[in-house]
Structure 1
């Protein structure tokens, strides 16, 4: 069992804390994979202001963008909404910067959003990571829920995938589950039996309302979705992180695939669900717990 500065005894952790306060206590480069599924900003009343990037002398700006170029940010509010936050992007941006810091050099970020926000997040991550570190936009397509009659029904989420280092990131497609060919008659029998590697469009049902996977948490994601990302972007024994952990799906997948995990959430309901689901595989800490004090002591 591998120890770390944030888990001296090597145990996986469920952390009941505000991620903005907890993430800065973790050491640089600690995680091979980070999955971020923040609250979707689904409010209808919106106000947008312009964000402008001004090219600066190398090393002089406050942002690094494409090919390592330096930028100074002339920034108003990127967006404000009435559903959850006065400024969603002021809420999300510092947490994504922490994600960049916490990724190992061979690490990968999966940012799960919906169609309302993904284009803004893409611009933000291009600035934080650099455009050369963009790996994929995964489309998670499903067929469940309400049917629109005056537009095409929205039946997908978007997952932006960025790597810390575009020349040394870990990706193992041999570990990924395979899919049936849509036209098996066009390939050999051996290929049809083996199946094909997934593309950047992942067809996967939502969590069944009556299935054994269901926890009752309203935004629960299916294990099959996370298992594919975990297998591709981490190895057995690696540490993975979810700091909007919700029902703890990343932790459940990590525990079954011999990864170590840290799942963080400030919602007591989420912690209760995760404890029922993951108490066999992790210990729960709060900022006031003795282990948290030990973690803070060990953290640089």
Structure 2
């Protein structure tokens, strides 16, 4: 499939949501701040220095009125609910819900009729979010409240240890995409539930009826002297029941009640339930980690996307963080739109999706568009500048190899053959390149160093001599061309290295 939509915005998501076409999105995943009162950080430089730690966002809300409510974007019932809640709940909670309400309303608008939405939350506000979603999506369209065990057991003072997050799953209407996931039966499950065996294998005996009184229909008939019990009907038509009998798959009890032999191989396995224990959190040694405290596992996003969308569908993540949703969408052959208000997070996301999409075109907005805006970012937020520039070099920032004055990165460009990349983004006019990426088993072919001063060109020459690989000095002007913003500049350099 050829992706037609890959869009990443470093911007306020409400503004972007209002620009998304109605009925265009198959699946939306929202992982908003939880109003937990905690401050979340992103580690974007060396762990040896506190300068590398920065707030990605503060997960607390304050406000003393409903003046910020976008009433033109929400149904009257939602507006009334929020105004009444404002008088009964803490200001922070009502402000948080006022932030969420118009965004959820816009998500409802952009979803296809068969679309679905998952909202990731925790107990600090999940009960209020569910009421809000009932009002916007309809209580009848609530599908599941999934419990994901996100961490291991730990002690808490005078309460049960909080180890789970909640996923509120709603559809836009009664028909929605559903690709159920199954897992193999465990030996314990087989021993407990498939207790019988014949020449065809292990089996269990299941009822031949289903709930619902369908008297007068083809599902209610006499079979071998038996009728379905009151309030139930036969699960199969008469012809199928007769076929089961001919196959020897029907067992009649002493009073003539039929039961069907269900063999292990008849089913796909154990259907996925609403408690997820099999997806572990990202630990300190995970290769997925970007240094972002709230980053979710790729396996979690691949499960959600796989179950609730199909190849080619458009996936939306308005709080995309470091881009795990988009990486999962790439791997599962979906289109995507990602939004995050933090340039730090959006830059890390762009780095990751450039690797996943192998430098395919990504439409970006909210990033530096010219040299003056790039230099302004360097002056105001050097760490953000380093991450932004690294993303354009088809690399991902490596916190272990970065310093307060240099953002270091590594990546790989794939084509006829793979080319490994190393990158450096100076954050000052004079920098020390004494610390570089550990080479290990990586066979780096080319290095890229952003140069906006004479000393940077000298640093590129010094790295070439020391590492024995060509290190190209990339002028700042090269990063802000239209082509570079779309695909980055690493492909051009990689082509030189291949030649």
Q: Is residue 2:213 matched to residue 1:134?
A: no
Q: Displacement of 1:33 after TM fit?
A: 0.4
Residue 169 of structure 1 is aligned with which of 176, 181, 204? 176
- For structure 2, list consecutive stretches of 5 or more residues without a partner in the other structure: 39-59, 65-74, 195-201, 203-263, 370-481, 484-499
Name 2:341's counterpart in structure 1: 266
Q: Are the aligned partners of 2:7 and 2:364 in contact in 1 as well (CA < 8 Å)?
A: yes
Corresponding position: 1:62 with 2:76:
yes
Q: Report matched runs for 1:112-261 at 5 Å.
A: 112-144=120-152, 146-166=154-174, 168-173=175-180, 176-178=181-183, 181=186, 183-188=189-194, 190=264, 195-203=269-277, 204-261=279-336
CA–CA distance in structure 2, aligned partners of residues 237 and 279 of structure 1: 19
Tell me whether 1:42 sits opposite 2:36 in the alignment: yes
CA distance in 1, matches of 2:325, 2:61: 32
341, 364, 367: which is aligned to 1:285?
Answer: 364
Cα deviations by residue, 1:244-284 (Å, 9 ceiling, x for unpaired):
00021111111101111111111011112112210142614
Between the aligned partners of 1:184 and 1:251, the Cα distance in structure 2 is 38
The alpha-carbon distance between structure 1 residues 211 and 180, as it changes in their structure 2 partners (threshold 3 A), is: farther
Instruction: Tell me what 1:14 maps to.
Output: 8
Relative contact order, CA 8 A, sep 6+: which one is greater? 1
Indicate the residue corresponding to 2:216 in structure 1.
Answer: none
Determine helix, strand or coil for the equivalent of 1:255.
helix
Q: What is the rounded CA distance, in whole Å, between the counterparts of 1:268 and 1:177 in structure 2?
A: 38
Q: TM-score, normalised by structure 2?
A: 0.48
Structure 1 CA distance for aligned equivalents of residues 182 and 288 of structure 2: 19
8 Å Cα contact 2:82-2:97 kept in structure 1 = no
Q: Is the 8 A contact 2:31 2:119 kept in 1?
A: yes
CA distance in 2, matches of 1:277, 1:268: 14
Aligned 8 A contact 2:63 2:95 in 1: no
Q: What's the secondary structure of 1:205's corresponding residue?
A: coil
SS across alignment from 1:160? strand
CA distance in 2, matches of 1:250, 1:74: 30
Aligned length: 264
Residue of structure 2 in register with 1:294 after alignment = none
Quick one: structure 1 residues 142 and 17, their matched pair in 2 at CA, closer, same or farther if it must change by over 3 Å?
closer
| Deviation of 1:80 (Å) | 4.3
- CA distance 1:272–1:145, shift in 2 (3 Å): farther
Structure 1 segments of 4+ aligned residues over 3 angstroms from their partners: 44-49, 71-74, 78-82, 179-184, 187-191, 287-291
- Counterparts of 2:348 and 2:363, CA distance in 1: 12
- CA offsets, 1:83-113, max 9 Å, x none? xx88111111110101100110000000000
Alignment CA distance shift 1:48-1:131 (3 Å): farther
- The answer to whether the 8 A contact 1:140-1:156 is kept is yes
**Structure 1 residue 243, shift from structure 2 partner:** 0.5
Once residues 252 and 274 of structure 1 are traced to their aligned partners in structure 2, the CA distance between those partners, rounded to angstroms, is 9
Which deviations, in whole Å up to 9, do the C-alpha atoms of 1:46-95 show, x marking residues without a partner? 9999xxxxxxxxxxx8238xxxxxx965824275456xx88111111110
CA distance in 2, matches of 1:171, 1:194: 15
Cα distance change of structure 1 residues 221 and 46 upon mapping to structure 2, 3 Å threshold: closer
Q: d(CA) in 1 for partners of 2:17 and 2:8?
A: 13
* Aligned-residue offset at 1:177: 5.0
Q: Is the 8 A contact 1:79 1:88 kept in 2?
A: no
For 2:19 and 2:89, how far apart are their aligned partners in 1?
29
With the length of structure 1 as denominator, give the TM-score of the two structures.
0.78
Distance in 1 between residues matched to 2:345 and 2:320, nearest whole Å? 8
> Match of 1:227, SS?
helix
What is aligned with 1:30?
24
Distance 1:46 1:214 in 2: 27
Structure 1, gaps ≥5 residues long:
4-9, 50-60, 65-70, 292-300
Q: What is the CA–CA distance in structure 2 between the aligned matches of 1:287 and 1:47, rounded to whole Å? A: 26
Measure, in 1, the Cα distance between the counterparts of 2:129 and 2:81: 16
SS at match of 2:26: strand
